[in-house]
Amino acid sequence: MTVDHAANGQEALSRIAAATDLDTLEGLRVSLLGKQGSISALLKTLGAMSPDERKVEGPKIHALRESVTEALAGRKAALENAALEEQLAAQTIDLTLPAPESPRGSIHPISQVMDELAEIFADMGFAVATGPEIEDDWHNFTALNMPESHPARAMHDTFYFPDRDAENREMLLRTHTSPVQIRAMIDVVRESPGGAPLRVIAPGRVYRSDSDATHTPMFHQIEGLVIDKGIHLGHLKWTLETFLKAFFEREDIVLRLRPSYFPFTEPSVEVDVGYTIVNGKRVVGGSEGWMEVLGSGMVNRKVIAAGGLDPDEWQGFAFGTGVDRLAMLKYGMDDLRAFFDGDVRWLSHYGFSALDVPTLSGGVGTAA
């Protein structure tokens, strides 16, 4: 008996190729390779064959089984693939539809600039100090060499409370961050008698009873204080130059120092920074014109003494500037009042990302 394996094979393969669904294919597999399947039956015949016969028939039958198995698998994969493609095609969605939005938060420019300043001054060894905003008149005025009748007191447009503290000091809203100078000195003396050296900056809210287009009754200042031995005006000049160059990230920062008067410094110096006009706006750098940015000077001996230090031993400088103004100059806002309105449109436009953390390595400023 001779079986035409080739013909059987051809027929099986064409049936497999013609199968259009997985069920049909499975039926074919059972009928060919299942226990009762035709190829399984052929395999069984091998046992009854003579060795010679088997030598001839064996490879043919095995080849047949292999080709059918392969065809079944190939056809199955093709059908599954087609089914998957059909399914995926059915699952197509319109990806031009909007994805869910997550809200974008922002950091207020004042906070951002304060962080920038802290970063710049940390590099120069300045620690950050704070003090109360509701102050007593001793810290805000008297200790800063502004006794009660001092005309400079009247110039401060002070907000007063009707209250007095336990030492009968008049309570007020601090008019500048300078009282933190006194507190920082007293603290350092308490911690290490004899005190000093000291390098601090004190950023924070300050208040003047003044309100017009360019003044708000609340604004922000940053104060700097260095107390050490042998510190003079030259150090002050360098510190302010270095700070402004780092803050504005420009080398062409030109400072003009003018003699001035603050009761708490002697000599006192007002600092102008040069600007150039670019597209009708003042840009810091160059020297087409000058604008006032800082008040500063060598700390008055009386102030050093009020801080509990010996003015014959210690000397130093102090400076103060407006944080809001620095922010405006750097980032281009022109309306101070908008800083305190909480308008989300303004906050979105002028605010900073949480990830814009000022660092010295990455640059303290955030590019527009």
Partner 1 sequence: MKFSLSWLRRYLDTDASVDAICDALNAIGLEVEGVEDPAAKLSGFRVAKVLTAARHPDADKLQVLTVDTGQGEPLQVVCGAPNARAGLVGVLGLPGAVVPANGMQLKKSAIRGVESNGMMCSTRELELGEDHDGIIELPADAPIGTPFADYRGVDPVIEVAITPNRPDCMGVYGIARDLAAKKLGELKPVAEAHLETPFACPVEIRTDDPQGCPAFYGRVIRGVRNGPSPQWLQDLLQSAGQRPISALVDATNYIMLSYGRPAHAYDLAKLTGAVVARRAVDGEQVTALNGKTYALDSEMTVIADQAGVHDIAGIMGGEHSGCEDTTTDVLLEIAYFDPARIARTGRKLNLTSDARGRFERGIDPGFLDKGLELLTALILELCGGEPSEVVRAGAAPTTPKTVHFDPALTEKLGGVTVSPQRQQAILESLGFGVVAEEAGFDKAWIVTVPGWRPDIDGAPDLVEEVVRIHGLDEVKSVPLPREDGVARPTATSAQRLERRVRRAAAARGLQEAVTWSFLPTPEAAHFADGPVWTLANPISEDMKAMRPSLLPGLLSAARRNLDRGAGSLRLFELGRRYLRGDAGASDERLTLGLVLAGEKAPRGWSSGKAVPFDAFDAKAEAMALLADAGAPTDKLQVMGDAGPQFHPGQSGTLRLGPKTVLARFGMLHPATAKLFDIDGPVALAEVFLDAIPARKAASGFARVAYAPPALQAVSRDFAFLVPATLPAGDLVRVVQGADKANIVAARLFDDFRGAGVPEGQKSLAVEVTLQPGDKSYGEADLKAIADKVTAAAAKLGATLRG
What residues numbered 265-304 form the site for partner 1, per CB under 8 A?
A: 266-270, 298, 300-301
Is residue 13 near partner 1 by the rule CB under 8 A?
no
Q: Are 188 and 139 in contact (CB under 8 A)?
A: no
Provide the minimum distance between the beta carbon of 161 and partner 1 in the complex, in angstroms, as a whole number: 6
| Token pair for 275 | 């600007």
By beta-carbon proximity to partner 1, the closer residue of 13 and 124 is 124
Is residue 205 near partner 1 by the rule CB under 8 A?
yes
By beta-carbon proximity to partner 1, the closer residue of 37 and 263 is 263
Provide the minimum distance between the beta carbon of 145 and partner 1 in the complex, in angstroms, as a whole number: 11
Spatial CA neighbour of 306 closest among 181, 221, 194, 200: 181
Between CA 141 and CA 100 the distance in angstroms is 55
Q: Are 267 and 297 in contact (CB under 8 A)?
A: yes
Provide the minimum distance between the beta carbon of 207 and partner 1 in the complex, in angstroms, as a whole number: 7
Select the residue interacting with partner 1 from 49, 124, 254, 283 (CB under 8 A). Answer: 124
Number of residues binding to partner 1, judged by CB under 8 A:
95
Provide the minimum distance between the beta carbon of 88 and partner 1 in the complex, in angstroms, as a whole number: 20
By beta-carbon proximity to partner 1, the closer residue of 51 and 342 is 342
Select the residue interacting with partner 1 from 61, 113, 126, 293 (CB under 8 A). Answer: 126
Q: Strand, helix or coil at 163? A: strand
DSSP 8-state code for residue 143:
G
**Regarding beta strands 289-299 and 281-284, do their DSSP bridges make them parallel or antiparallel, or are they unpaired?**
unpaired
Is residue 102 near partner 1 by the rule CB under 8 A?
yes
Provide the minimum distance between the beta carbon of 307 and partner 1 in the complex, in angstroms, as a whole number: 16
Provide the minimum distance between the beta carbon of 157 and partner 1 in the complex, in angstroms, as a whole number: 9
Between CA 360 and CA 111 the distance in angstroms is 17
Segment contacting partner 1 (CB under 8 A): 1-9, 33-41, 53-61, 111-119?
A: 111-119
Select the residue interacting with partner 1 from 89, 166, 213, 367 (CB under 8 A). Answer: 166
Binding residues among 321-360 for partner 1 as defined by CB under 8 A: 339-345, 347-348, 351, 353-355, 357
H/E run at residue 72: helix 51-90
Is residue 92 near partner 1 by the rule CB under 8 A?
no
Between CA 19 and CA 22 the distance in angstroms is 8
By beta-carbon proximity to partner 1, the closer residue of 26 and 292 is 292
H/E run at residue 182: helix 179-191
Q: Are 180 and 166 in contact (CB under 8 A)?
A: no
Between CA 320 and CA 222 the distance in angstroms is 6
DSSP 8-state code for residue 219:
E
By beta-carbon proximity to partner 1, the closer residue of 79 and 338 is 338
Binding residues among 170-189 for partner 1 as defined by CB under 8 A: 171, 173
Binding residues among 231-270 for partner 1 as defined by CB under 8 A: 231-239, 241-242, 257-261, 263, 266-270
Is residue 138 near partner 1 by the rule CB under 8 A?
no
Please give the backbone phi and psi of residue 133, each rounded to the nearest 5 degrees, phi first: -85, -35
Between CA 262 and CA 145 the distance in angstroms is 9
| Token pair for 7 | 């013909």
By beta-carbon proximity to partner 1, the closer residue of 33 and 152 is 152
* CA 9 centroid distance within chain: 71
Between CA 264 and CA 144 the distance in angstroms is 5
Select the residue interacting with partner 1 from 115, 116, 137, 223 (CB under 8 A). Answer: 115
